[in-house]
């Protein structure tokens, strides 16, 4: 196996941590986690979620990093080479294809949501939400998503940013971006937590909601939601972590690094809850407001609070930064494969993959306006279908297959060579990756269809 990737290498362990954390930290932390916690009773959900992060997420993330670093290629070619080296079926290459396609599908609709966030930076900055009521907040969001040209325009802008960064390569593009955006993201989080604590008057109520154990709210549905969120928030099964692992220096601990990334990812999710719930409670809003929490409930809350215009802008800048660091990881597996397969340059590969993702994303952009009445599966729009197929089917299935391949199929010498710095916890990791992680993810996968 090659010692370095043809695409470049991370300059240090810190850069890999920032990049992988950037991939993991995204809309799932800032948008999805708070409303899932709100819908599932707060503290019990958080407890199960954190347990799943470290019992399922960290072992599978470590496996993805291991595979990427062993193969030093795109996830598709990495799986092909490792399967051949281990004397396994070439069908295992399908895991790489599944991850790259899932990441591509997610990027196509993720860019639409990220475009909404960029739009809200300007809406909040204009003062449109100052003193606004609930009807205005709802109509503002409906007006944005219902205007096809507006949605497509913001979607196009976000995809252009993603393509530009990916085209610049690992060092000048990916690393430079996370080097500045990730520290900025954490600074903005701290500023917003302080703002929520200082101005809402309900900060301790938010803390209590997020961390108190209300077992009356405990249900199998909450467990499944927590397991699913833990799995998806770490960007597992979509090829991103495997692609980033290919650029990771050899002398770095995989398990220790994956644990740090999981801690950072969980910290962002919890801090997001500490920002959002005090604002929600301060304005008498509903904590289980669902996906509308970020685009309807929060702008309304910021509009009612001192300095809300400024801090509302800061919040949506934060969301946009998180979306960018995730989007560049979603596009990377496919870009790396195009460069390897077609022997072309990074800019051409990034433009080809990003342009196609933009085109497919038009279906999701149209789903809230001119295609709103068109359904693909059951009553699901194009947007809902892409989300459902990628997140509920492809990612869990990919995660199970990665765990099984690493734990049971991959040549043990390769595994031990890559995990040389993790001898203390290696037996525990091997037990989790062979038995606990695949079984737990399969439960989530099966229960999705029951």
In a domain? residue 48: yes
Q: Which domain holds residue 331?
A: 13-447
In a domain? residue 1: no
Through-space distance between the first and last CA atoms of the chain, rounded to whole angstroms: 43
The answer to whether residues 63 and 402 touch, using CB atoms and an 8 Å cutoff, is yes
How many structural domains are present in the chain?
1
The answer to whether residues 424 and 100 touch, using CB atoms and an 8 Å cutoff, is no
As a whole number of angstroms, the distance between CA 96 and CA 93 comes to 5
Rounded to 10 degrees, what is the CA torsion of 187, 248, 174, 330? Answer: -100
CA dihedral (265, 266, 271, 276) positive or negative: positive
Backbone phi, psi, residue 377, to 5°: -120, 115
Q: What is the pLDDT of residue 31?
A: 76
The answer to whether residues 166 and 346 touch, using CB atoms and an 8 Å cutoff, is yes
The answer to whether residues 247 and 8 touch, using CB atoms and an 8 Å cutoff, is yes
> What CATH number has the domain bearing residue 72?
1.10.4160
Q: What is the pLDDT of residue 288?
A: 59
**pLDDT digit of tens for each residue in the chain (450 aa)?**
677 899 999 999 999 999 999 999 888 888 788 878 877 878 888 998 999 999 999 999 999 999 999 999 999 999 999 999 999 999 999 999 999 999 999 999 999 999 999 999 999 999 999 998 888 988 999 999 999 999 999 999 999 999 999 999 999 999 999 999 999 999 999 999 999 999 888 999 989 888 888 777 777 777 878 877 887 788 888 999 999 999 999 989 999 999 999 999 999 999 999 998 888 888 887 765 666 778 888 898 899 888 999 999 999 999 999 999 999 999 999 999 999 999 999 999 999 999 999 999 999 999 999 999 999 999 999 999 998 888 878 888 899 999 999 999 999 999 999 999 888 999 999 999 999 999 988 887 787 777
The answer to whether residues 222 and 43 touch, using CB atoms and an 8 Å cutoff, is no
In a domain? residue 423: yes
In a domain? residue 180: yes
Residue with structure tokens 């604590």?
197
Question: Of 242, 308, 309, which is closest to residue 72 (Cα–Cα)?
Answer: 242
Structure tokens at 317: 């800048």
Q: What is the pLDDT of residue 242?
A: 97
In a domain? residue 308: yes
In a domain? residue 8: no
Rounded to 10 degrees, what is the CA torsion of 103, 105, 111, 114? Answer: -70
In a domain? residue 3: no
Question: Of 77, 7, 3, 71, which is closest to residue 341 (Cα–Cα)?
Answer: 77
Question: Of 359, 387, 69, 106, which is closest to residue 241 (Cα–Cα)?
Answer: 69
As a whole number of angstroms, the distance between CA 431 and CA 273 comes to 33
Question: Of 328, 332, 402, 331, which is closest to residue 57 (Cα–Cα)?
Answer: 402
Distances in Å between the Cα of 388 and the Cα atoms of 40, 379, 392 are: 20, 12, 5
Q: What is the pLDDT of residue 292?
A: 72
- SS3 category, 378: coil
CA dihedral (245, 388, 52, 286) positive or negative: positive
Q: What is the DSSP string of 46-89?
A: HHHHHHHIIIIIHHHHHHHHHHHHHH-S-HHHHHHHHHHHTT--
pTM of the predicted protein model: 0.95
In a domain? residue 345: yes
As a whole number of angstroms, the distance between CA 245 and CA 333 comes to 11
């Amino acid at each position: 196996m090659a010692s370095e990737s043809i695409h470049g290498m991370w300059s240090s362990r810190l850069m890999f941590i920032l990049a992988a954390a950037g991939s993991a930290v995204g809309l799932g932390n800032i948008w999805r986690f708070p409303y899932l916690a709100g819908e599932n009773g707060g503290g019990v959900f958080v407890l199960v979620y954190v347990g799943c992060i470290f019992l399922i997420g960290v072992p599978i993330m470590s496996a993805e990093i291991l595979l990427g670093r062993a193969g030093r290629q795109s996830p598709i070619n990495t799986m092909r080479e490792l399967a051949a080296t281990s004397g396994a079926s070439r069908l295992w290459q399908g895991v790489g294809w599944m991850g790259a396609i899932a990441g591509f599908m997610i990027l196509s609709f993720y860019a639409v949501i990220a475009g909404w966030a960029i739009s809200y930076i300007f809406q909040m900055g204009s003062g449109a939400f100052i003193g606004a009521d609930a009807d205005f907040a709802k109509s503002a969001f409906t007006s944005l998503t219902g205007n096809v040209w507006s949605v497509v325009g913001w979607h196009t802008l976000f995809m252009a940013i993603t393509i530009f960064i990916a085209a610049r390569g690992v060092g000048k593009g990916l690393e430079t971006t996370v080097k500045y955006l990730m520290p900025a993201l954490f600074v903005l989080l701290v500023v917003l937590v302080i703002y929520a604590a200082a101005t809402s008057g309900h900060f301790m109520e938010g803390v209590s909601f997020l961390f108190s154990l209300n077992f009356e709210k405990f249900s199998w549905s909450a467990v499944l939601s927590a397991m699913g969120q833990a799995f998806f928030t770490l960007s597992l099964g979509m090829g991103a972590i495997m692609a980033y692992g290919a650029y990771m220096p050899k002398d770095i601990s995989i398990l220790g690094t994956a644990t740090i990334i999981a801690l950072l990812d969980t910290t962002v999710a919890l801090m997001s809850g500490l920002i959002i719930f005090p604002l929600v409670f301060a304005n008498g809003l509903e904590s289980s407001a669902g996906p509308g929490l970020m685009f309807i409930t929060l702008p309304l809350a910021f509009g009612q609070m001192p300095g809300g215009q400024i801090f509302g802008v800061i919040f949506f800048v934060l969301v946009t930064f998180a979306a960018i660091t995730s989007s560049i990881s979603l596009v990377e597996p496919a870009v790396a494969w195009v460069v390897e397969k077609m022997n072309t340059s990074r800019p051409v590969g990034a433009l080809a993959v990003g342009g196609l993702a933009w085109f497919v994303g038009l279906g999701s952009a149209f789903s809230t306006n001119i295609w709103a009445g068109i359904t693909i599966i059951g009553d699901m729009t194009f947007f809902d279908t892409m989300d459902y197929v990628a997140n509920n089917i492809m990612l869990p299935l990919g995660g199970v297959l990665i765990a099984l391949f690493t734990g049971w199929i991959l040549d043990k010498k390769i595994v031990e060579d890559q995990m040389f710095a993790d001898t203390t916890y290696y037996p525990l990791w091997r037990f989790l990756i062979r038995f606990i992680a695949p079984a737990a993810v399969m439960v989530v996968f099966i229960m999705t269809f029951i």
